[in-house]
Amino acid sequence: MLISDINPHIRHANLITTPFKMRSEPSICMDCRLFFFENISGWFFFGGEKHNILNNTAIFFPPETEYELDIKFNENAGFYVFNFDLTNIHCDIKNGFGTPLKSEFDKSKVPSYEMSEEFSKPIIKNIAHVKGMLGKCVNNFILKNTFYREASSALLKMILLELVGEENHNAYSELCKNVLDYISENYKTSSLTNETISAHFNYHSYHLSSIVKSETGKSLHQFLIYYRLRKSRELLATTETEISEIAWKCGFSSAAYFTKLFKQNIGITPGDYRRRYTDLGF
């Protein structure tokens, strides 16, 4: 399966906000599993390694992944959980399988299909910017609005693509990670430019831009535009906020400039982008 062929079939989607009893033995996924943690501390154990859970951590497991979980709910804590196939080949199986204990796992009941290479192994990544999409996806699935399965599937595909997206900060140098984190924290400020970012890190703008491009494939300016457009797509897909306000919230100097850059990079206008999701019941 190519990543372009992904069409998630969701069987279960929920936001867990209440502490629960930890299991006494490992669990095994029957289908794909996606977790997203907010204000929760603890750890996952899988693949022979222990992984700490940080705020806004997303974890993807392919089918048949064995794992153990130990978490603590802090103030305003919760986590999203999705059970799904990457394809709708088995869309006739609509009810969730649950998560069996290792001693109860029956491999013959696991839905069989070709997995894409990108999702053939566990993934851990901080993707705080998708929280709005996660909430919208769960709400669609729980409320069962018109075309809720199609709408939730479209949102989950966007989230999964972000999960395997290019800026995996773990692959970057400390300087590059810090620069990208600084952009994610300050992108809303319209005065944020190559020069202001470079001044913050005491680098010449040309030199810092070269470092970022060598590691991400995008110059400093290109990455800033890319990040602002990504945040704008999230708002267009999950809110009814006016396009002019989205432009302002994402750091663009004007709605006209935002629309021009959006069409240049995405291929359609912000209004057309929003209408595509409205047509799916968003």
Among 69, 76, 81, 79, residue whose Cα is nearest residue 26: 69
Q: Is 75 helix (H, G, I), strand (E, B) or coil?
A: strand
**Most distant CA pair in the chain: distance in Å?**
60
CA atoms of 256 and 243, how far apart (whole Å):
10
CATH of the domain at 7: 2.60.120
**59 and 156 both lie in a single domain:** yes
Last residue of a domain, one of 163, 185, 201: 163
* E strand spans, 86-230: 123-126
The owner of tokens 């959980």 is 81
Q: Which two tokens stand for residue 14?
A: 């929920």
Work out the number of other CB atoms within 10 angstroms of the CB of residue 60.
Answer: 22
Are 34 and 158 spatial neighbours (Cβ–Cβ below 8 Å)? no
**26 and 149 both lie in a single domain:** yes
pLDDT bin (cut points 50, 70, 90) of residue 34 is very high
CA atoms of 45 and 203, how far apart (whole Å):
40
Are 34 and 125 spatial neighbours (Cβ–Cβ below 8 Å)? no
CA atoms of 82 and 273, how far apart (whole Å):
25
Write the CB contacts of 242 (distance below 8 Å, at least 6 apart in sequence).
Answer: none
**246 and 158 both lie in a single domain:** no
**29 and 78 both lie in a single domain:** yes
**Which structural domain, as residue segments, surrounds residue 248?**
169-278
Among 161, 156, 178, residue whose Cα is nearest residue 169: 178
For 65-91, what is the mean pLDDT?
A: 90
Q: Residue 171: what pLDDT?
A: 58
CATH of the domain at 178: 1.10.10.60
**57 and 141 both lie in a single domain:** yes
CA atoms of 25 and 19, how far apart (whole Å):
18
Question: pLDDT tens digit string along 194-210?
Answer: 999 999 999 999 999 99
Are 116 and 163 spatial neighbours (Cβ–Cβ below 8 Å)? no
Q: Residue 236: what pLDDT?
A: 84
Q: Residue 256: what pLDDT?
A: 95
Regarding pTM above 0.75, the answer is: no
**10 and 85 both lie in a single domain:** yes
Q: Who has greater pLDDT, 154 or 75?
A: 154
Among 115, 226, 122, residue whose Cα is nearest residue 166: 226
Percent of the chain with pLDDT over 70: 95
CA atoms of 171 and 103, how far apart (whole Å):
37
**120 and 30 both lie in a single domain:** yes
**120 and 230 both lie in a single domain:** no
DSSP for 4-18? GG---EEEEEEEE-S
Last residue of a domain, one of 129, 163, 197: 163
**19 and 137 both lie in a single domain:** yes
Last residue of a domain, one of 119, 136, 163: 163
**159 and 185 both lie in a single domain:** no
**177 and 57 both lie in a single domain:** no
**158 and 177 both lie in a single domain:** no
Least confidently predicted of 20-29, 233-242, 265-274: 233-242
- When divided into structural domains, the chain yields a total of 2
Q: Is 123 helix (H, G, I), strand (E, B) or coil?
A: strand
Q: Residue 82: what pLDDT?
A: 94
pLDDT bin (cut points 50, 70, 90) of residue 166 is low
